[in-house]
Structure 1
Amino acid sequence: MRTDVNPLTAVRNLGILAHVDAGKTTVTERILYATGTIHRRGEVHDGTTVTDFDPQERDRGITIFAAAVSCGWDGHRINLIDTPGHVDFADEVERSLRVLDGAIAVFDAVAGVEPQSESVWRQADRHGVPRIAFVNKMDRAGADLDTAVASIRERLHPAPLVVQLPVGTEDGFTGVVDLLRLRALVWSDGGATAEVVPVPEDLREEALRRRRLLEEAVAELHPGALEEFVERETLSAGTLAGALRDLTRSGDAVVVLCGSAYRNRGIEPLLDAVVAYLPSPLDVPAVRGTHDGTAQERAADPRAPFAALVFKVNATPTGRLTYLRVYSGTIEKGDTVLDAGTRRTERVGRILRVQADRHARVDHAVAGDIVAVVGLKSARAGSTLCAPGTPLVLEPPGVTEPVVSVAVEARRFTDADRLASALARLAEEDPSLVVRTDPETGQTVLSGMGELHLEVAVEKLRLVQRLEVNVGRPRVSHRETVGRGVSGFVLRHVKQDGGAGQFAHVVLDVEPLQDGFEFRSAVVGGRVPQEYVRAVEAGCRDALAEGPLGGHPVTGLRVTLTDGATHVKDSSETAFRTAGRLGLREALRACAMLLLEPVVEVTVTVPEDAVGGVLGDLAARRGRVSGSAARGGSAVVTATVPLAELFGYATRLRSRTQGRGTFTARPTGYAPAPAATPAR
């Protein structure tokens, strides 16, 4: 009897994650070449890669925008998203991870786990995305697979299961030993495919030892493998592969492979691992959403009601592209879909299979597909699109609050309206960019995740929109917090101007909190009804928008409603919300407030002879050094530095180290600013 195989089992939706310069884009390029999707290998340094197609990406040599491509391997369709590695574009990674079923984490064989690779790993943990690891650049001087794996174990805390042994070291790296099948894969210079040969005699004993270690590690983690291991004292290749698949998909372990993407070595086994270990849309839990406050699930079934999540919007010269992950159902050209958040319906004009900046038209897309559609006018990143008759709201990707701002104005007065429109379009494409008008100066302020993030946005205004703009000096976004609180602060809100009046009496305690905002009610005897308590909390949250020091958002406090009073006729939720807002605002003026500034963890890599100058420069920037280590002839210094002190640091570092120094930074939160720091 013939059994039909669900075609979704042959789909893999995955991303490439890594620290900047670990080789993500080169890995993506070699995957496209190995699968026959492209016929010429592009290079990042030549500006000829498929996924880094934006002019700024090619000029800067880094990935800025997530790019989607599709390719085929061993009867499977792989939808691949190449994500940025720079911390300023972490939200682009966040939006991509939200719609992925698996990922390849790329690590530098010399540097191991670097700061941003740790950050994206944690992002993938939050989304429950299974990963396999690829230790890249095995041909570099100082490359060491075991050291890189040790850093994965120590800093990321998964159980790394190494399934390959390198053949050759550094420049002599020519291939890998497959520990599951105990065979060697060797690539010749310029060769596109591997030659399968027996394990070299000088590596056979080491290969058998590592195979044994792999079997023992898998048996410890997988009950089925343990049963066979106890019975036979070994594991078959089939059992080992099945256990590795289960452990990868559950997140209990990560399979580790190695290679050199630049020299096209290790890519075919990596693709085999993607197919063998990472999940299909059917292997991940059904997507969960809500409708009218009720939780619902939608299975990855083309016959189920349509539901998709928008994860990217891109305005192109030929139209607005809306990128979707289809979770259930089928969408066809000409269909009408409902934006579940805004309750607006829109018509799908065209459906495109995306190949970076190239697109192929398709008639329909089904559950498990990642496609772009043309014709939607109002859908934003995070919007849920669904069948009009079966609405569902899916959880949108999180958006990080911006930490750096610049004032932007058009050089020509006549371009003011064009600038406003262009900025609105930027914010639509990238939700981590925020545009607002400063109420004091009337200036248009653009806020983002870092100096580079804003540079890219402004350059896009100039290149794409053909706008000449003036940009102010970057400024960080401060916060305010409570250093010492107050107790028993009374606010009596009474308003009588004819007709129904307003009456609300509240008594608030305000105290410091480690982070965030917490509201509690300690009112007894029903002196303040529960619906009014909720209104007081809403008013307090309104008051957090502007603190007394300089109008910055307030965080790190607990507010307790301890008492209150109502009026038979004049009390209402509106009155108590107003009392909560005014009461907390006045209470904060009575508190001892602290100004907070954003701080980042900086990792500086410099020649050893330049360490002294770098340490002195960091100290002058109010940096606190937390560690240093030697790595391959260089020194790696880690420090915590206020973000405001890092503007222009890249240029300063290059001049101090004759261009040989590099640094990366990742946000770590907020810390009290010195008393001399201006509040605005």
Structure 2
Amino acid sequence: MKTYDEKHIKNVALLGPAKSGKTTLAETMLFEAGIINRRGTVEEHNTVSDYHEVEHERGSSVYATSLHTEWRDYKINLMDTPGLDDFVGEVISSIRVCDTAVLLLNAQNGVEVGTELLWSYVDRYKKPTILAVNQLDSGRASFKQTIEEAKLFFGPAVTIMQYPVNTGLGFDSIVDLLKMVLYKFPEEGGKPEKLPIPDSEQERANALHNELVEKAAENDEGLMEKYFEKGTLDEDEMRQGLKIGMMKHEVFPVFCLSAKKDMGSGRMMGFIDNVAPSATEMPPEGTEDGQEVPCDPQAPTRLFFFKTLIEPRLGRLSFFKVLAGEVTTGMELQNEKTNTVERIGQLFITDGKNRNPVECLKAGDIGCTLKLRNTYTNHTLNGKEATGSIEPIQFPDPKWRVAVTAVNRQDEEKLGEVLSEIHMEDPTVEVSYDQELKQLILATQGELHLMVTKWRLEHVYKMQVEFQKVKVPYRETIQRAATATYRHKKQSGGAGQFGEVSLQVEPYYEGMPPLKEHPVRETETIDLPWGGKLVFNNCIVGGVIDGRFLPSILKGVMEKMEQGPLTGSYVRDVRVSVFDGKMHPVDSNDISFKIAGMMAFREAFMQAEPLLLEPVQELEVRVPLSLLGDMMTELQIRRGIILNMEMEQDYQVIRARAPLAELDKLLASIRNLSQGRAIVRSHFAAYAPVPADMQKSISAEHGKTEMAEAH
């Protein structure tokens, strides 16, 4: 395969909502370039990019697939991305390494919810963007309405390069405003005939052409001067101005397509070749320590790994972008994260599952390699004289959590290893073991993302799993003071066990006054690992309990605090004062006073108006203004409290607090109500009292569970 230099490599992410035609467009672009000799379809499960079994079952993309075309001496690397927000990790990593985004707009639907979500990621990275209006051959297609919606959403950057003469089932003609010709396509699509613009379209074409000239000129002072001198710009000057505008994120060229009928893709590829920036023209990447890394073919080699894929029977594929220098087979490079050396055994350009071996890849190119030992997504491999790790891709936090167990208990240990491997491949899947809840927690971007993860566990790793609700990490405390005495006495042949402890419990708070009821000899303040404090007072006088038994009493109290009397949850913010007790000269020992301390604490705690606390999350909900009322109602139904609201463009930002116990249902409801348009961020805020009726119900349920386990 030909090796392309950095100026002739273009990296493009194909983006768009579900059913906008990204995979069909990718297939058509490969066909037009002669990479494939027959176009597959999503329905027949034979496209180059959607080749995974799960994609065939779902009928849509789950993975971002790396492809390439060769068009008029340029190489165009394509990333065909999923259209659903559940698979946003695949989208974000593709946007990060590509230099141009082609955002598909379905001419039947205009600017959809999915378009808005995708745009938030494109806009974050300020990638040059082409708007491709697809499915103009559909009976419900409306180019006019799509453009109107695009201008409302994207603003004045929307720049019409082409318009269709006849949308709908008879679509076959496009007026190109840069070249000022009519492209008329044969019925079966493919190479169009170039014709003069008909008289009926001349006035409209001239007006839009003049707008295009002005848009190109306004991006550069030199071009503006030429425009004032000549009253127009030639084609090359217009291309120059459009490129500058795209780089500034102030020009979004609009192209017309029917990917299904193979109409319009060749012209858009020509524009990508001639106008879309290469990696060398883009702003430099940055390292974590603040270095700039321009895409320089003469600089030391740097590879940035943006995707890891584990293929059955093949192993791990690692996808990278050559940020600087070049990479060749056999090269040894330093991993900055793991401080290990990796040898590049093989290099490939991929087209879906097809791997094309190459010997060398230049700066700006995208490729993959096999079987690296210690290199994963977001890692950097450097050649000699290069240092520093490239700033990592920031993936969104998970939105959906479940507890997962293996159906076969023999698979429990293996399950954690398998999920860690899935996380390595897809960083938006997170897995952790919660020691407090004693649950393995699987977190994903949504319910569909979770179902695909389950599919992989069952079909790829041959492991049956079950999902349960994640338990809530409640806390227990008390509301008033109480005392209790407990005597532990056990006699069996020989030495027995004896210990009696009297203690007082009180709710602890910062700055509370010293204990008045009993003289305090010494105090120990313990910052509890799960939050809150335990203050332990030794108030023993007269030696009724030997000082050597006080640590055992404290240990018993701590053990009961780790499994609270009310629900088995952690206890926090309590002051315990041991003020009396009894010993036996022979039978008293550490275990006796540990048990006596534990049971005395339990009895006193249950008399002190125990209170169950629940974790409360701070929420920031960014929602379209039209849905504000529904969102506020939903928050209130889920026991949420609105803190404040403010406007941000066409969105309302609601800041609220809601119990963690309600969060999964709340997030699902918000997603359904907004059709995915709402953006929710949450973090832990505080612990707050559980409503009395809920506390009674949760405590009773815990009692039943304890009884069942005892029997």
When normalised by structure 1's length, the TM-score is: 0.72
Aligned counterparts of 2:147 and 2:414: Cα–Cα separation in 1: 51
Find the aligned partners of 1:669 and 1:645 in 2 and give their Cα distance: 12
Pairwise CA RMSD: 4.0
Deviates most, 224-233 or 191-200: 224-233
- What is the alpha-carbon distance in structure 2 between the residues aligned to residue 477 and residue 365 of structure 1? 51
- The Cα offsets for residues 529-583 of structure 1, whole Å up to 9 and x where unpaired, read as xxxxxxxxxxxxxxxxxxxx9999xxxxxxxxxxxxxxxxxxxxxxxxxxxxxxx
Work out which of the residue numbers 217, 223, 226 in structure 2 matches 1:225: 223
Look up the match of 1:63: 61
Of residues 268, 271, 275, the one that matches 2:269 is 271
Q: In the superposition, relative to structure 1, how do residues 139 and 476 fare at CA in structure 2: closer, same or farther (>3 Å)?
A: farther
Distance 1:52 1:211, change over 3 A: same
Shift in CA distance, 663/592, structure 1 to aligned 2, threshold 3 Å: closer
1:82 to 76, 80, 83: 80
Give the percent of matched residue pairs that are identical in Structure 1 and Structure 2: 27
User: Residue 353 of structure 1 contacts residue 359 of structure 1 at CA under 8 Å; is this kept in 2?
Assistant: yes
> CA separation of 1:148/1:158 partners in 2, compared to 1, >3 Å: closer, same or farther?
same
2:304 matched to 1:309? yes
Offset at residue 474 of structure 1 (A) = 7.7
Query: Matches of residues 141-156 of structure 1 in structure 2 within 5 Å?
Result: 141-156=139-154
State the Cα deviation string for residues 305-351 of structure 1 (Å, max 9, x = none): 11111101111221211111111122222222211122122222211
* Structure 1 residues 440 and 477: alpha-carbon distance in aligned structure 2, compared to 1, 3 A threshold: closer
Task: Name the counterpart of 1:321.
Answer: 317
Q: Which structure has the greater CA radius of gyration?
A: 2
Using the alignment, how far apart are the partners of 1:263 and 1:246 within structure 2? 32
Code of the residue aligned with 2:665 in structure 1: it is A
Instruction: Provide the rounded CA distance (Å) in 2 between the counterparts of 1:110 and 1:441.
Output: 49
Cα deviation for residue 222 of structure 1 reads: 3.7
1:527-546 residue pairs with structure 2 within 5 A?
A: none
- Within a 5 Å distance, the mapping from 1:108-257 to structure 2 comes to 108-157=106-155, 159-257=157-255
Q: Secondary structure at the match of 2:280?
A: coil
Task: Answer yes or no: is the 8 Å Cα contact 1:309–1:385 preserved in 2.
Answer: yes
Q: Write the letter of the residue equivalent to 2:451.
A: E
- Is 1:419 aligned to residue 431 of structure 2? no
**Residues 307, 319 of structure 2: 8 Å contact kept:** yes
Matched to 1:438, the amino acid is D
Cα deviation, residue 392, structure 1: 2.0
Aligned letter for 2:376? R
The answer for unaligned runs of 5 or more in structure 1 is 479-487, 492-501, 506-548, 553-588, 606-613, 625-637, 654-661
Q: Tell me which residue corresponds to 1:644.
A: 665
Matches of 2:455 and 2:622 in 1, distance apart?
A: 25
| Structure 1 position 436, deviation (Å) | 1.0
User: Shift in Å at residue 503 of structure 1?
Assistant: 13
Name the structure 1 match of 2:279.
281
Asked if structure 2 preserves the Cα contact closer than 8 Å seen for 1:8 and 1:280, the reply is yes
Q: Distance in 1 between matches of 2:182 and 2:197?
A: 5
Shift of 1:476: 11
Distance 1:642 1:198, change over 3 A: farther
Counterpart secondary structure, 2:394: coil
Cα distance 1:642–1:40, how it changes in 2: closer, same or farther (>3 A)?
farther
Please say if 1:447 is aligned against 2:436: no
Distance 1:78 1:337, change over 3 A: same
Whether contact under 8 Å (2:102, 2:129) holds in the other structure is: yes
What TM-score do the two structures reach when normalised by structure 2?
0.69
- Aligned partner of 1:406 among 382, 402, 409: 402
Answering whether residue 590 of structure 2 is matched by residue 595 of structure 1, we say: no
CA distance in 2 between counterparts of 1:302 and 1:437 reads 45
The residue number in structure 2 matching 1:357 is 353
What residue identity is the alignment partner of 1:41? R
| TM-aligned CA distance change 1:297 to 1:669, over 3 Å | closer
- Alignment counterpart, residue 389 of structure 2, candidates 393, 397, 405: 393
2:15 equivalent in structure 1: 17
* Separation in structure 2 between the aligned mates of residue 180 and residue 346 of structure 1, nearest angstrom: 48
Partner residue, 2:366: 370
1:296 to 286, 291, 294: 291
Question: Structure 1, residues 458-515: CA drift from partner, whole Å, max 9, x if none?
Answer: 110111111111122589999xxxxxxxxx9679xxxxxxxxxx9999xxxxxxxxxx
Shift of 1:418: 2.7
Query: What secondary structure does 1:172 align onto?
Result: coil
Q: Which amino acid counterpart does residue 309 of structure 2 have in structure 1?
A: N
Alignment match, 1:485: none
- Given the superposition, is the C-alpha separation of residues 264 and 618 from structure 1 closer, same or farther in structure 2, using an over 3 Å criterion? farther
Q: Which residue of 1 aligns with 2:453?
A: 457
Q: Determine the structure 1 residue equivalent to 2:33.
A: 35
1:105 to 1:434, Cα distance in 2 relative to 1, 3 A = same
Contact 1:403 1:477 in 2 (8 A): no
Query: Is the counterpart of residue 668 in structure 1 residue 680 in structure 2?
Result: yes
Number of equivalenced pairs = 543
Letter in 1 for 2:10: R
3-state SS of 1:466 partner: coil
Q: C-alpha distance in 1, partners of 2:322/2:653?
A: 43
Bigger drift between 201-210 and 25-34 goes to 201-210
* Contact 1:175/1:259, CA 8 A, preserved across alignment: no
